[in-house]
Structure 1
């Protein structure tokens, strides 16, 4: 079948366009356009990073001033453990664990302290770091209240590590009560008192 002149012309144009697209896809795009697009993306990322670091740099002096003010501010009265010696502060911290237990939650089981173990005392700047490991059993609500009391009442304590596991439910005719076994490490600080020998 013989093609008309218009059909031959159209076929030639289509073939030329296909060849141009093939050449563009194999040579020009991967060697020229692709790298340019990648450069543009990297430039946009660098510009965004530069703007973010510029904003942070602008806040440096304000943040430094606030940090210096907090560092130089005196500690709140009663925020540290008391006692003439670290051993007395350890005993105080162990008693605070018992004093701050939630013994009468509005629902669920109360907290009880099964064991308390003091750890070696370490110096941290002008303070002594007093650490006690405690083993508790609590209901969920009593645990939440106890943790809040441990960290929010003076002298302030820090719950540094905590491990919680659920104990098997006891067989009972009433509603199921969830018992939690908690191992936590509490930290308090003892101030340097006059007459203490520097280590």
Structure 2
């Protein structure tokens, strides 16, 4: 009986000694950034970066449309404009088509299908369509919305994706306060070999 009870303090002491020695011996204990890879973060999503204005210079995540439009990876656009559409919901003919032609449309979610918005952006000459939330009181403000086909016979021939509402509100309000008609972006950007801790996420997302 004494042998068992007397060994317990010795075992405890040995365990404590190992805890002290392990960091000094070069043994690596994985952190959360070692365990989570960039591939885990991407998970089929697309990223773009704003290069102007400087206050918005971050990397943003998009959830591509599920079953309409073409892939974002089919073509890369560098130094292209991200233009707020008029009307903001793009549910009717886009009035500022001259500014939008050859650029990417930033469109308010709601009031018509995502496919309708994308088709109207395509008709106006946009290279891609990004839908987002402009209402920070919306219940979906902090969620990615799955964009699906509206079951009509129509099709879109440009890529489309959903931007987190929190990002959409800040991008729109910043452009309006600076009286800028558009931001400058690169889309898509390849983050495959960028460590998660080095991705330049917007600070307001709390990464």
Q: TM-score, normalised by structure 1?
A: 0.26
Structure of greater Rg: 1
Q: TM-score, normalised by structure 2?
A: 0.25
